[in-house]
Amino acid sequence: MKILVTNDDGIFSPGIKALARAMSALGEVYVVAPDVEQSAVGHGITVRRPLRFKHTAAAGLDPIPAYRVDGTPADCVVLGVHLLGRPDLVVSGINIGVNLGLDLTHSGTVAGAIEGTSIGIPSIAFSLDVGSRNGMDFEPGAAEAVRIARWVAEHGLPEKVFLNVNFPVNAPRGVRITELSTHHYEDTVVERVDPNGVPYYWIAGKPTGSEDPGTDLWAVRDGYTSITPISLDLAEHGFMPALRAAFEG
Amino acid sequence: MKILVTNDDGIFSPGIKALARAMSALGEVYVVAPDVEQSAVGHGITVRRPLRFKHTAAAGLDPIPAYRVDGTPADCVVLGVHLLGRPDLVVSGINIGVNLGLDLTHSGTVAGAIEGTSIGIPSIAFSLDVGSRNGMDFEPGAAEAVRIARWVAEHGLPEKVFLNVNFPVNAPRGVRITELSTHHYEDTVVERVDPNGVPYYWIAGKPTGSEDPGTDLWAVRDGYTSITPISLDLAEHGFMPALRAAFEG
């Protein structure tokens, strides 16, 4: 089995190292990841400029082949598939910080899984809740990731569906299959003035959302690994009759 | 009613001019749009650098207030809401080219509507199928956009749901409420060598997808305006029992 590993924190992140090494238990692993952090880039693909694709021994992943790209996680999946061959599985992460609820559309980690799913490859996004950046431990999550990836390799996933997985701060108490919560970053804008007296604006976000039972946020905060199956068939069928009555005919 | 108009083709696009002017029939319009084309950026938000927000008389939208941002469509919605006040409606477009099927996650036009929806404002994304860039006519779509926006203003939208609207090349024969098609851009990678002998790679895409009856692609190719309601509740409930049996317990 061939496994493409990507992320959005960049190729030098400890999270991708832990994930790539753990995945070696399942097959042939190769890493294609952004050269710098790409958080909050969403599912962008770079089409207006060329990209570089460079072998990166300095990533410390030897003997796993590791390549860096000056683009987004989706770019990494596209280039990885074209230049290194089509994998059987795409895994993205382990992200430093959760990707939950309404945040999914912003997440570069999730974008790696979306790109894999779009081209028909079973895909999984992995993220770790971090209490503090000093104390974070990717190993329990990496072990759990292998168990989940093995199941996906054996059973497959429905068409257009991928798994979004979040690990709790400490070693997980178990697994919960969850709904998406209302978790998102409440946008705030900080206004400042530059040395030339011209204003500039910085978007910041405060994590918010309620820990309703059964949701992804609830599960990770309760110490469980959260797995949410995500569908790329985004149409809301329940609202179609009202729209048909209003606009068709 | 206050209406925020954004897009991903940039503030100087004829598509945003047509949409903003038409929307003036419904209320107070303001335009906040990227300074340059942001196609395929997905739902990215710029959090690692500051942004500028500049009044842009040269957009030719006078007397409609128009501001340009050196960022993504989602950035434009965030800054517009914070600096100009919360609108009653967010509209994005009219994009030069369709946004259909699996492309939605890449689309900057759709990202504007996703951002509006995420912060609880009814939102609509508008795109125009273009036969050739010389012959494109935004006026029939702009008139249809007013009719759709008026309906949304009167009836509202379900929570976490927005409308993705695509107009056909010529004046529409009517409206079809549609499913998402399999339409996407089949990624290809063009490899070249730079003047220093170093390879570089350019991602290109060929539009593909089948015109199955009832889908967005079928509707626009058949000469209809396509409206697809899109939900941001991405969880795939049908797959949860299988996952629960495998991982919980």
**Which residue ranges of chain A lie beneath pLDDT 50?**
none
Burial class (CB in 10 A: 0-12, 13-18, 19+), B116: buried
Residue A160: φ, ψ to 5°: 65, 15
| Listed residue (B66, B73, B79, B64) closest to B92, CA to CA | B73
Tens of pLDDT along B88-108? 999 999 999 999 998 888 889
CA-to-CA dists, residue A23 to A74, A113, A147, A194, angstroms? 20, 16, 10, 46
Tens of pLDDT along B212-222? 999 999 999 99
Q: What is the mean pLDDT of residues B185-202?
A: 91
For an interface test with A, the pick among B49, B100, B243, B248 (most A C-beta atoms closer than 10 Å) comes out as B243
CA-to-CA dists, residue B141 to B103, B138, B172, B246, angstroms? 20, 5, 8, 49
Terminal-to-terminal C-alpha distance of chain A: 52
CA pair distance B56, B154, nearest whole angstrom: 31
Q: What is the residue-wise DSSP string for B200-238? A: EEEEEEEEE----TTBHHHHHHTTPEEEEEEES--B-GG
Candidate from B43, B163, B174 with C-beta closest to A106: B43
Closest CA of chain A from B82, distance in Å = 7
Domain boundaries, chain B: 2-181+211-247
Confirm if B50 and B88 have CB atoms less than 8 A apart. no
A95 is in an annotated binding site: yes
The pLDDT score that the predictor gives to residue A132 is 66
A243 touches chain B (CB under 8 A): yes
State ipTM: 0.90
CA pair distance B42, A207, nearest whole angstrom: 21
CA pair distance A167, A186, nearest whole angstrom: 22
pLDDT over 80 (residue B41): no
| CATH class of the domain at A2-181+211-247 | alpha beta
| Listed residue (B11, B46, B122, B18) closest to A200, CA to CA | B46
Q: How many CB pairs under 8 A join A and B?
A: 218
- CB within 8 Å of chain B, chain A residues 144-203: 148, 151, 155, 157-158, 160-161, 163, 174-180, 184, 187-189, 192, 198-203
Candidate from B50, B157, B176 with C-beta closest to A248: B176
Band of residue B45 on the pLDDT scale cut at 50, 70, 90: confident
- Work out whether the CA dihedral B6, B44, B99, B120 comes out positive or negative: negative
Contact A236 B229 (CB under 8 A): yes
* SS3 state at B76: helix
Contact A180 B47 (CB under 8 A): no
B245 touches chain A (CB under 8 A): no
Helix axes B73-84, B108-118, angle to 10 degrees: 40
pLDDT over 90 (residue B134): no
Contact A46 B40 (CB under 8 A): yes
Q: What is the mean pLDDT of residues B32-56?
A: 87
Per-residue DSSP letter, B242: H
The pLDDT score that the predictor gives to residue A228 is 98
Tens of pLDDT along A112-156? 999 999 999 999 999 999 976 667 899 999 999 999 999 999 999
The pLDDT score that the predictor gives to residue B132 is 66
* SS3 state at B74: helix
Least confident of A7-11, A139-143, B2-6, B55-59: B55-59
Pairing mode of beta strands A2-6, A89-96: parallel
A39 is in an annotated binding site: yes
The pLDDT score that the predictor gives to residue A170 is 92
Helix axes A14-23, A139-155, angle to 10 degrees: 50
The pLDDT score that the predictor gives to residue A18 is 97
Per the prediction, chain B carries an average pLDDT of 93
Confirm if B47 and A108 have CB atoms less than 8 A apart. no
Band of residue B133 on the pLDDT scale cut at 50, 70, 90: low
The pLDDT score that the predictor gives to residue A150 is 98
